[in-house]
Amino acid sequence: MAPSATRGSQAGLTRSESRCCPGTSASSSTSSTRSERAVSAHENEFPENREANRAHLLAAVDSVADALTAGRDESEKLRRLSPSSVEALRSSGLFKMKSPREVGGAEAHPVTQMDVIEAVTMIDPAAAWCMFITSAVTGGVFASLSDESVDEVLADGFPFMAGSLRAGGRARRIEGGYRVSGRWAWGSGVEHSDWVAVPVFSDGPPVIRALVPTSEVILHDNWHTLGMRGTGSCDYELDDVFVPDRFAIDAPGGGPPRGGALMRLGLPAYVVNEHGSFAYALGRLALQTMTETAIEKKRGYLGGVSLADRQVFQRTIGQGTIRMNACALAMAESLERMFDSAADGPPDPALVTEAQAAAVWCTDEATDLVSDLFRFTGGSAVMNDSEMQRILRDIYTVQSHLMVSAVVYEQYGQILLGMTEGGALP
């Protein structure tokens, strides 16, 4: 193993050490139904009513705001979330946001998720990113695992899960499961995860999702980046790891899906709300940062005038606020219609692509706004402790993500021209 690589358990991931060995059988009561086992063992704290659910999640954000604020700079230096930030997210339950209610999750409406993502982003963008990535991976896994596997995974409490959407590596079929090897990039939150779920090319089904304890994962210390430094999105590797059939999701005999319309969305609809809301939240964070200092900040060799007194700055603030409001409204409106279309089955592919295009537009608008605002910061912005520099680095990092690729505009245009039905990944 290379000096820059560690096993997950060596990275301080002690929760996984007490978990059942992946090669052993899970025990469960055959007389219990799925929901009886999950909910009785893990009471659901989240209201079913949409507005009450939203209020509960936003209250959870408020409850850990101070802890996330305190850990923000440490996360940036560590290049992963600080221990205090991880503990705050665990205690808040925010990473349950996308999980089915049957396993104790919030199963929140996509627009509710937008509000939660924005609220955490305004406190600590890195924590917000890890929160919604973890939430998405965990929810997707719990929607598909067999009943027995759910009981086993929940035995030590509700877990953090990291993972990827991009298939890689190879799963070799053997008796009782698979031998999996491969390396994946962009492992946001993997260093504080309990489990890792990755799509793997197999010699059985074309692709399976392999669920593996993080203690079995090799972590590569290569997250040296322009922005989003606190997310710890390093590479991670599986080296001939045994994955039993019960943890090979989407393989023949896999468990039935759980959850309602949220779990029927599929990809990319299931995650399309995340990137757009994160981007316009960064735009709003930039607006807040600049307005808080606009009165005191002056530029000019002879003292100059305050930023607040400059008409060009006033215009940028006013117009920028409307732009971010428009982004939020466009994203929410497209998500409402997309989600409603999944009431009785898969979502309308055209509405999925429309929501994707809205997310790309949110990212484009936020990137432009942050760039405009950064020009007003002056020499202080070249210092690494500059808040505006950090926001600029973060937005330029996330705008490169495949989920907000400009190719989505082309796909949406093809739908409007009657050339395709839409709904594909970029």
Query: Cα separations (Å) of 368 from 90, 261, 310, 323, 372?
Result: 34, 34, 20, 10, 6
More confidently predicted of 424 and 33: 424
- 3-class state of residue 131 by DSSP: helix
In percent, how much of the chain has pLDDT > 90? 77
| pTM, to two decimals | 0.89
pLDDT, position 298: 76
More confidently predicted of 296 and 280: 280
Query: Cα separations (Å) of 182 from 25, 171, 195, 198?
Result: 25, 9, 16, 10
Measure the CA–CA gap between 140 and 269, rounded to whole angstroms. Answer: 12
Query: Cα separations (Å) of 393 from 76, 323, 387, 399?
Result: 12, 20, 10, 10
pLDDT, position 37: 43
Under DSSP, the state recorded for 263 is H
Look at residue 15 and tell me whether its pLDDT is greater than 50: no
pLDDT, position 381: 86
User: How does pLDDT run across 409-423, given as a tens digit for each residue?
Assistant: 999 999 999 998 776
Give the domain ranges of the chain. Answer: 9-22+33-156, 161-249, 265-416
Measure the CA–CA gap between 338 and 265, rounded to whole angstroms. Answer: 9
Instruction: Please identify which residue in the block is written with the tokens 């039935």.
Output: 256
Cis ω for the linkage preceding 100 (within 30 of 0): no
Equal CATH topology for 9-22+33-156 and 265-416: no
Per-residue confidence band for 296, with pLDDT thresholds at 50, 70 and 90: confident
Instruction: Please identify which residue in the block is written with the tokens 């209610």.
Output: 101
Measure the CA–CA gap between 229 and 119, rounded to whole angstroms. Answer: 19
Instruction: Please identify which residue in the block is written with the tokens 């991880």.
Output: 86
Residue pair 251/208 in contact (Cβ under 8 Å)? The answer is yes
Q: Side chain identity at 46, as an amino acid letter? A: F
More confidently predicted of 68 and 302: 68
Point out the least confidently predicted range of 10-24, 311-325, 386-400.
10-24
Measure the CA–CA gap between 78 and 64, rounded to whole angstroms. Answer: 20
pLDDT, position 205: 73
Look at residue 387 and tell me whether its pLDDT is greater than 80: yes
In percent, how much of the chain has pLDDT > 70? 87
Average pLDDT score over residue span 189-193: 97
Measure the CA–CA gap between 179 and 202, rounded to whole angstroms. Answer: 10
Ranges 14-28, 38-52, 338-352, most confident: 338-352
pLDDT, position 246: 95
Q: What average pLDDT is seen over the chain?
A: 89
Residue pair 45/57 in contact (Cβ under 8 Å)? The answer is no
Query: Cα separations (Å) of 340 from 184, 225, 304, 344?
Result: 34, 39, 54, 9
Measure the CA–CA gap between 132 and 162, rounded to whole angstroms. Answer: 10
pLDDT, position 217: 98
- 3-class state of residue 174 by DSSP: strand
Average pLDDT score over residue span 384-404: 96
pLDDT, position 100: 96
Give the CATH fold of the 161-249 domain. Butyryl-CoA Dehydrogenase, subunit A; domain 2 (2.40.110)
- 3-class state of residue 229 by DSSP: helix
Look at residue 250 and tell me whether its pLDDT is greater than 70: yes
Tell me which architecture the domain covering 265-416 has in CATH: Up-down Bundle (1.20)
Per-residue confidence band for 5, with pLDDT thresholds at 50, 70 and 90: confident
Within 13 Å, how many C-alpha atoms sit on residue 127's CB side?
32
Per-residue confidence band for 198, with pLDDT thresholds at 50, 70 and 90: very high
pLDDT, position 6: 73
Q: Identify which of 205, 192, 183, 210 has the alpha carbon closest to the alpha carbon of residue 134.
A: 192
pLDDT, position 396: 98
pLDDT, position 21: 39
* Phi, psi (rounded to 5 degrees) for 47: -65, 150
Q: Identify which of 107, 106, 142, 422 has the alpha carbon closest to the alpha carbon of residue 268.
A: 422
Q: Identify which of 288, 285, 418, 411 has the alpha carbon closest to the alpha carbon of residue 358.
A: 411
Average pLDDT score over residue span 247-254: 70
Measure the CA–CA gap between 220 and 229, rounded to whole angstroms. Answer: 15
Look at residue 236 and tell me whether its pLDDT is greater than 50: yes
User: How does pLDDT run across 160-181, given as a tens digit for each residue?
Assistant: 999 998 899 999 999 999 999 9
Could you tell me which CATH class the domain 9-22+33-156 is placed in? Answer: mainly alpha
The length of the chain in residues reads: 426
- Rounded (10°) angle between helices 50-78 and 110-121: 40
Query: Cα separations (Å) of 364 from 23, 270, 402?
Result: 47, 21, 13
Look at residue 155 and tell me whether its pLDDT is greater than 90: yes
